Structure 1
């Protein structure tokens, strides 16, 4: 093996390590939500904000990261993003309330918004042609492993050290990652240094305000989509996002390279990648409360029960090259979306079973189908899209794709959380009335289980039974709506890429 190849492989391993630990961080926190809920008495809306704050700031920062990376250098920008995780970990360790936790998670979201697009941009510069496919597959495997593997790590840390252990783990691991990347990954030149470094603050402000209001509306939609505090913020948010796109498109110093969307494969990959994150974050947000509260497992076992998703994702990633060689990038992307929709429907349908063994077996099958779609889809979509991006626009292209992915994360948590919460509260009300209990829910299944300890053993047991049935019933609706959204997106992707043979 020559020196160049060896250096490339070393860089690839280091960049994949950064992707792995960052994605572990992203989802490890979700397993700790039931414990955090008990510590701070957080309702469903506060839980959504703890998760959404990360995704929201991520989406707001990612285009800015591409803008700076293409001008200042991708490696320098990436190291700065990794440093944000270390700072946020210290704040998280000391957090004594939900607002401090939100600050910590927001800073981590900013770091992720820098690291992911810069990592993809570096891969696009260091590897080209067939080597790019290999690199993107390795990157996707690392990310795919991290997302579902995060609950395992988070569960182990939460069970042994408490939820603060996750922040301690993050601080140590990200310091190590910064050192190995600084030593092993070559600095790339800022290929567009001659362009203005003047920050397009109007674009940044409009985009951040738009995403924030849209997210706030989604969170409030758990009390009804037609409620004023739901549809008004969402409507204003959509107007601001549209205004940002129009303003940036006309700007001489754009934050976003919208011209890349004129390429059909690139444009098709954007909504397809959005659905990958929509699915991942939706599953990881909904399942911990079901596994840990309804089924009464601890955080470690709850994380372990998500391993089918992990294994199927790994298998899908490993088989990606073979699948692409047979049906092309377009076919693989459509197949992945189909698997995601089928997996969602299967998990939701599992809740119809009365037999617990049949229910858990069906959930297992749903995880496997969805996990395979996640694993097979991500490398195919990223390679297909990034192979269409000129080297000098690597940062901007990667950032644009990452914006779509993070918007998928935002609506995944928002839609899943709001539908699940709304259906759960309604279901709890109806079921409690039918058995003569107080029909007022505390707002989440975890809080209702916690409230049940205040009553006699008989009443407490009945409250837990009602809460469990209401949560499982709500999962049918949540996963059904998710499947419908994915199927609609599959049709859009197929339409956009209809003239692309492979």
Structure 2
């Protein structure tokens, strides 16, 4: 490392945590604005899924390339380039007048996030080791944990006062400030592999991006039926391309991904565990805003505030991390985290079964707290467990590999939650509409159906809104139950992989 003299590691930690915080606020603040965007631009559920998934897809495609470059040209230099992408994307989003322009903006932001997150983790792995690394990772996790559920509150306030474009204006100003403070206080690092080739492994990048894109396309199309050709064919081709990417990269003399890190059982166990954290976070944040803002008929600001139990529980979980790890170890804490997430998902889904509004909200509050504790305790324990096994000179590669798994969790989180929710919602809406004697057909999302209800007389319009609300709540039960099952299966896999580790 050069230019490190006189740089306070604690100030560097604060700056890196600030970057993580504002980036995660950006990620989830946008979801709260989806109902407004859907109404403003006429976006259906599939288009909304693509708006969210474009961010995650490009993130996944860029993240390994970021680790590749960071280990060769310097982690801080690469991170600053990623932060600059957010500024450019914010300007495009501020002027976007249609869904394609919004997709471009979110894709560039995804590229920026794919650079910033692994480089931030890599810098922490270089600046701190041993017990100090655990402290730094806990702070980093708290910043990210705060940003994920706190984002809806910020997004709600901005959307309520400035409209959804206000989020992009906020992003541009904040990311410029973050770039300035990071340049002042974070030390520059030398390339760790100066003798290694800088030639880009474009074939690996192309195969991975195409694989993730096709797999995500299949998930989005699955809302019309998992057995439909436009769902399972893209998914299968995507799986083949991802498998081909792994085989090609392993045989390459200039690999994009250093898979030999997965030989360590602790590192290998953390990968699917971290994937489930993002799966849970993005799934919840994707479908809850429509319930809080449309079904319960709150505004964006109140909708964001109603997710605050998730925030408080996440912070509490992060603060308890060291105490829990000291008693049951990183492995035990990670398994406990996944158990809390599964229990929280089941509880939120069960809340939708209550007809009494007070009981429903109390049960959902309990579910949010359980899921928040799982998110808060899991992230620092898993990251410390994994990154503590990675040599300093391979920090970029290790961090990027873990981040790929996390982003794949984001992709399947939005895809599975969105497709199951949309499919169950349309089916339930049809059944309820028939039983109520309505001839109205679902427009494809609860937001558009509420908008459609305004075209009818007061009595009929209100009946459509009630039908849409009941259908959405019923679909949420199925979505969260499926998510809990996926998390429990992963918990078993993580326990099996890490069975030879002591703590």
Query: Normalized against structure 1, the TM-score is what?
Result: 0.99
Residue matched to 1:368: 369
Residue matched to 2:149: 148
**Is 1:108 aligned to residue 143 of structure 2?**
no
Residue matched to 2:431: 430
Residue matched to 1:292: 293
The Cα offsets for residues 427-485 of structure 1, whole Å up to 9 and x where unpaired, read as 00000001111252000000000000000000000000000000000000000000000
Residue matched to 2:65: 64
TM-aligned CA deviation for residue 501 of structure 1: 1.2
**How far, CA to CA, are the matches of 2:386 and 2:412 in structure 1?**
22
Q: How does 1:47-196 map to 2 (within 5 A)?
A: 47-196=48-197
**Is 1:331 aligned to residue 360 of structure 2?**
no
**How far, CA to CA, are the matches of 1:438 and 1:398 in structure 2?**
53
Contact in 1 for aligned 2:7/2:185 (Cα 8 Å):
no
The Cα offsets for residues 308-367 of structure 1, whole Å up to 9 and x where unpaired, read as 000000000000000000000000000000000000000000011010000000000000
Q: How many residues align?
A: 500
Contact in 2 for aligned 1:334/1:494 (Cα 8 Å):
yes
**Is 1:307 aligned to residue 333 of structure 2?**
no
**How far, CA to CA, are the matches of 2:253 and 2:392 in structure 1?**
21
The Cα offsets for residues 100-154 of structure 1, whole Å up to 9 and x where unpaired, read as 0000000000000000000000000000000000000000000000000000000
Contact in 1 for aligned 2:335/2:491 (Cα 8 Å):
yes
Q: Does 438-447 or 180-189 show the bigger shift?
A: 438-447
Residue matched to 2:391: 390
Residue matched to 1:9: 10
**How far, CA to CA, are the matches of 1:98 and 1:388 in structure 2?**
43
Residue matched to 2:497: 496
Unaligned segments of structure 2, at least 5 residues: none
The Cα offsets for residues 483-502 of structure 1, whole Å up to 9 and x where unpaired, read as 00000000000000001110
Q: What SS does the aligned partner of 1:159 have?
A: helix
TM-aligned CA deviation for residue 5 of structure 1: 9.6
**How far, CA to CA, are the matches of 2:341 and 2:436 in structure 1?**
37
Residue matched to 1:217: 218
Contact in 2 for aligned 1:428/1:439 (Cα 8 Å):
no
Q: Does 4-13 or 341-350 show the bigger shift?
A: 4-13
Q: What SS does the aligned partner of 1:76 have?
A: helix
Q: What RMSD over aligned residues (CA atoms) do the two structures have, in Å?
A: 0.9
Contact in 1 for aligned 2:94/2:168 (Cα 8 Å):
yes
Contact in 2 for aligned 1:50/1:105 (Cα 8 Å):
yes
Unaligned segments of structure 1, at least 5 residues: none
**How far, CA to CA, are the matches of 1:229 and 1:182 in structure 2?**
47
**How far, CA to CA, are the matches of 1:364 and 1:51 in structure 2?**
25
**Is 1:201 aligned to residue 215 of structure 2?**
no
Contact in 1 for aligned 2:7/2:187 (Cα 8 Å):
no
Contact in 2 for aligned 1:430/1:439 (Cα 8 Å):
no
Query: Normalized against structure 2, the TM-score is what?
Result: 0.99
Q: What SS does the aligned partner of 1:24 have?
A: helix
**How far, CA to CA, are the matches of 2:270 and 2:446 in structure 1?**
36
> Structure 1: which 4+ aligned runs deviate by more than 2 Å?
3-6
Contact in 1 for aligned 2:86/2:172 (Cα 8 Å):
yes
**How far, CA to CA, are the matches of 1:12 and 1:435 in structure 2?**
58
Q: What SS does the aligned partner of 1:319 have?
A: helix
TM-aligned CA deviation for residue 4 of structure 1: 7.6
The structure-2 alpha-carbon separation of the partners of 1:272 and 1:328, relative to structure 1 and needing over 3 Å to count, comes to: same
The Cα offsets for residues 46-69 of structure 1, whole Å up to 9 and x where unpaired, read as 000000000010000000000000
TM-aligned CA deviation for residue 84 of structure 1: 0.0
TM-aligned CA deviation for residue 193 of structure 1: 1.4
**Is 1:277 aligned to residue 278 of structure 2?**
yes
Residue matched to 1:479: 480
